Structure 1
């Protein structure tokens, strides 16, 4: 499990911990056991199980159904694994994903952006369409 005070670690309402980070930043010393990578092109092989979601910077994911499945897998794995969610800078796409994962964990969709900004990063979820994506996320199958 992650240490609650470790940089970028978000505590979800269930108590599960998920680390968000920007891949352009220096890699933390503690390695994840699973990674969810939100990038416009495939990430390198990090050496641990991972899922790549095609998601261009400042936009929305290319395949919303697959993205929702990836969020659900990240939440399931966070029960007993160190899960990392990351994009280039660690704010927009990562914040949007963390907000959607928080919705899956019980945070109302209308409050999820504020929750992630309060507990992860004050500038998480950068664009109006990312905010809308989170607000409508709970209504997706």
Structure 2
């Protein structure tokens, strides 16, 4: 199970995550659960794409048995991009992943042309 959210918004109702993947330009605040930080400035792409891919792979693997949270500040651009990349890792074709995430998560997901291109080329 994977949930996307914006950490700048109130915490949603429901169970707490067991793993969090935080996509921020600066180190995220501490949380009670296992977490990983990917340095990813707002409206941009990850600083280290190899680390980002490893983090996304870890999140997908953990989602098989744990509640996973993927979050950036607003919950749309970076979070949507990461969710689309997770969809690609799970078998959705890269050129369809953005539309998939916009339909199932948020119509505002994946905000910039370079984020869309990143997803389309993600493997």
Instruction: Please state which band the TM-score falls in when normalised by the shorter chain.
Output: over 0.9
Q: TM-score, structure 1 length as denominator?
A: 0.85
Residue number in structure 2 paired with 1:88: 73
Instruction: Provide, for residues 35-73 of structure 1, a one-character-per-residue CA deviation record: whole Å limited to 9, x for no partner.
Output: 000000011111110000000000000000000000000
Q: Which sections of structure 1, spanning at least 5 residues, go unmatched?
A: 1-16
Alignment match of 2:12 (pick from 17, 25, 28): 28
Give the distance between the partners of 1:44 and 1:89, measured in 2 at CA: 15
Instruction: Provide, for residues 67-101 of structure 1, a one-character-per-residue CA deviation record: whole Å limited to 9, x for no partner.
Output: 00000000000001000000000000000000000
Instruction: Provide, for residues 98-122 of structure 1, a one-character-per-residue CA deviation record: whole Å limited to 9, x for no partner.
Output: 0000000000000000000000001
Query: Secondary structure of the equivalent of 1:36?
Result: strand
Q: Which sections of structure 2, spanning at least 5 residues, go unmatched?
A: none
Alignment match of 2:52 (pick from 67, 72, 83): 67
Return the structure number with greater helix share: 2
RMSD across aligned C-alpha pairs, in angstroms? Answer: 0.6
Q: TM-score, structure 2 length as denominator?
A: 0.97
